[in-house]
Structure 1
Amino acid sequence: MNPPALLLVGHGTRDAVGAEAFRAFVAQLDAAEPGLAVGGGFIELSPPPLADAVAAMVDGGVRHFAAVPLVLVSAGHAKGDIPAALAREERRHPGTSFAYGRPLGPHPKLLQVLERRLDEALAGADRADTTVLLVGRGSTDPDANAEVFKAARLLWEGRGLAGVETAFVSLAQPSVPAGLDRCRALGARRVVVLPYFLFPGVLPDRVRDQAHEWAAAHDTEVRCADVIGPEPELAELVMERYRESLRGDLRMNCDSCVYRIKLPGFEDRVGRPQQPHHHPDDPGHTHGPHGHEPHPHEPHAPHGEGHPHAPAR
């Protein structure tokens, strides 16, 4: 009997290079795992939509899937949109089943890659004189933002850096310029801006542009590192998440989930129902034509049904 297929689920990006990087990573894993069916799709913005990816694999004989969200933190997409979309696909394809893995970070394997990206940017410069600004996407989910701070602290420990600060490129504070201001106020001689993103895209480009703009107006040395990329450690971590989902060993953290716990300012999120986040090309999509402007993310469709942290009803 064949093992459940590995289904990688990405958010999607308007950046063609970033979308191709995701597709190339799926192909890379497929080639590296000859005894395993591997596919992948996006919940919005980029082809192939998740619905098409699942349909193609079902047409190829796949009936059981283990889905791994190719995201770094447990924000709204991982907690709500993706599991709801998987539930929709299970209804569309009777006889199929979907296990769901957990997001990727923070994890020591990713920290290894981040450290490598840091050293590439330093090019031999002294770590002791270097402050790192780790920049995440940003979310209105405080739990997701806290995970970025945790990754920053883990990166700081034991690596001989002057310090590691945290910033976000959207939806949360501090912003990239504010994070650089903080590094400078703390006496940073050199700052490496380290994007906490898997692949290239619109937001990593924005991080770089904002860092360069800030550097041009200040006398602090600023260097920009690359994104994580399709490194061997990333492939190993995805396979680890795949195996976890098969064992049911997910160990998700519900202690600070806004969909279970009344956190200050987020009380209205507890127990809210949810619906899948439709891809523009997917039947029933309600956001307009494929060329529509980006709609606001988080908060968007409410979360609850199909969400692994949702309270039982």
Structure 2
Amino acid sequence: MTAPTPPALLIAGHGTRDEAGAEAFRSFVRELGRRHPELPVAGGFIELSPPPLGEAVAELVERGVRRFAAVPLMLVSAGHAKGDIPAALAREKERHPGISYTYGRPLGPHPSLLRVLERRLGQALEGTGWDPAEVTVLLVGRGSTDPDANAEVHRAARLLWEGRGYAGVEPAFVSLAAPDVPSGLDRCARLGARRIVVLPYFLFTGILPDRVREQTRAWAEAHPEAEVRSADVIGPEPELLDLVWERYEEAAKGAVRMNCDACVYRIALPGFEDKVGLPQQPHFHPDDEGHDGHGHGHHHGHTHSHAH
């Protein structure tokens, strides 16, 4: 008996106005395709960058794909991973009758990514002579209106601190959530930190990681009593490629273990009760056929509806 054909792999990205960051995503998708020539691989964005997710699905369909596993290339399970991507995939299923898909889970905080973050910290400390026991790390995430997503950044900070010998790891956010980068650095200083490494919790370069670095520079100039260094983003490391493949295999085998215990769309969390059970609405990419020209991105002030 012939073994069934494995599903194709669809990578779903957030999108960025930074062309270098968008190209890093596209290059990452191409590298996954080179690693797995036996499998059709495509990738697209929810917003801001080409190609849109719908175009990536159409590419797979044109290649004869009828089944695929979609993996969100995102560190935390916020609005895009919980609602926008599932809604977009449901829309594509209507556009392409006969296709089927399974949906994977976001990436972090995974032990392999924590190892990359530790490596980025080591690179930031090269040549300083600093003892890690005297270094406080500020881990800066994107930030979300979803408290569950923000809590995942706190979890990543705690996991990064455990057993690695740093004085501490504090979380902060560059948008939409508190504390912001200057407030996070203020907190580190109040806790007695004099040597701080700011570590962006981002996969690729882009406008927000650049903003983290600029805000760090401004704070350091205003606080000469503290020594501050900036680390690099995670980047297209082998660990990231392996982790995406792991998430693909989970989805392809139907073994996804999604954690919905604190999902704002399922559980009435204080201050977010109105989000429970809201219907999903597709998030239209600006290049999508039939797009009506509305704004994009939670960071632009509008909201999307979501439900499981």
TM-score, normalised by the number of residues in structure 2: 0.95
Write out the 4+ residue segments of structure 1 that deviate beyond 3 Å after TM superposition: 292-299
2:138 equivalent in structure 1? 133
Amino acid at match of 2:126: A
SS of the aligned residue for 2:114 comes to helix
Correspondence 1:117 to 2:120: yes
**Shift of residue 254, structure 1, vs aligned partner:** 1.4
**Partners in 2 of 1:2 and 1:167 — Cα distance?**
44
Unaligned runs of 5+ in 2: none
2:215 equivalent in structure 1? 210
2:47–2:296 Cα contact (<8 Å) kept: no
**Partners in 2 of 1:135 and 1:27 — Cα distance?**
28
1:106 equivalent in structure 2? 109
**Partners in 2 of 1:176 and 1:201 — Cα distance?**
16
**Shift of residue 175, structure 1, vs aligned partner:** 0.5
SS of the aligned residue for 2:69 comes to strand
Correspondence 1:283 to 2:271: no
Correspondence 1:184 to 2:184: no
Q: Deviations over 1:132-182 (max 9, x none)?
A: 000000001000000000000000011010110010000000000000001
Among 44, 49, 58, the alignment partner of 2:61 is 58
SS of the aligned residue for 1:134 comes to strand
2:157 equivalent in structure 1? 152
Q: Size of the alignment, in residue pairs?
A: 302
**Shift of residue 129, structure 1, vs aligned partner:** 1.2
SS of the aligned residue for 1:135 comes to strand
Question: What pairs with 1:286-301 in structure 2 (closer than 5 Å)?
Answer: 286-288=292-294, 296=299, 300-301=303-304
2:200–2:233 Cα contact (<8 Å) kept: yes
1:225 equivalent in structure 2? 231
- The worse-fitting range, judged by mean Cα deviation, of 234-243 and 120-129 is 120-129
Q: Deviations over 1:83-119 (max 9, x none)?
A: 1101111111111111100000011011000000000
1:39 to 1:294, Cα distance in 2 relative to 1, 3 A: closer
Q: Deviations over 1:277-312 (max 9, x none)?
A: 000011232335xxx7867457612112xxxxx2xx
**Partners in 2 of 1:92 and 1:40 — Cα distance?**
18
- The worse-fitting range, judged by mean Cα deviation, of 32-41 and 16-25 is 32-41
Amino acid at match of 2:16: T
Among 166, 184, 194, the alignment partner of 1:161 is 166
What is the alpha-carbon root mean square deviation over aligned residues?
1.4
SS of the aligned residue for 2:193 comes to coil
1:299 to 1:261, Cα distance in 2 relative to 1, 3 A: farther
TM-score, normalised by the number of residues in structure 1: 0.94
